[in-house]
Amino acid sequence: MKDDLQQRWWNLEAKLVERFGKKPDLESILFLIGVQELGDIRTDFTKEQKQDLMHVAVCTLLSSSGYYEMETVDEDGWPHYRQLKPMPVMNAAEQENFLKDHVLLYFEQNGF
């Protein structure tokens, strides 16, 4: 299963390289998902906003597994999430694979 995840991840990276011209890391992909979810396509975000966008991405990704749900959207258009259940205990490698699996599901569900 781990090998299948790795192969699917490489396939996603290849598509993103084709689309954007360079290989993104996991943080870059989370940022991209956050921008997509926010719906605000600008070129300049503050460091704090970039962190917030990655948080939006993680909450969005994990909402598909019932860990989070969107609670509200504030006056600036930023979504806010509520945690529904605790995250499973995982080491760093397991956390990364868990997130990667959710990223792959997100792109699959969004037709990429």
pTM of the full predicted structure?
A: 0.88
The per-residue pLDDT for range 53-95, each reduced to its tens digit, is 999 999 999 999 999 999 999 998 899 999 999 999 999 999 9
Token pair 């991405």 is found at: 57
What SS3 state is found at 35?
helix
* Residue 2 clears pLDDT 70, i.e. is over it: no
Rounded Cα distance, 59 and 20, in Å: 24
**How many CB atoms lie under 10 A from the CB of residue 38?**
21
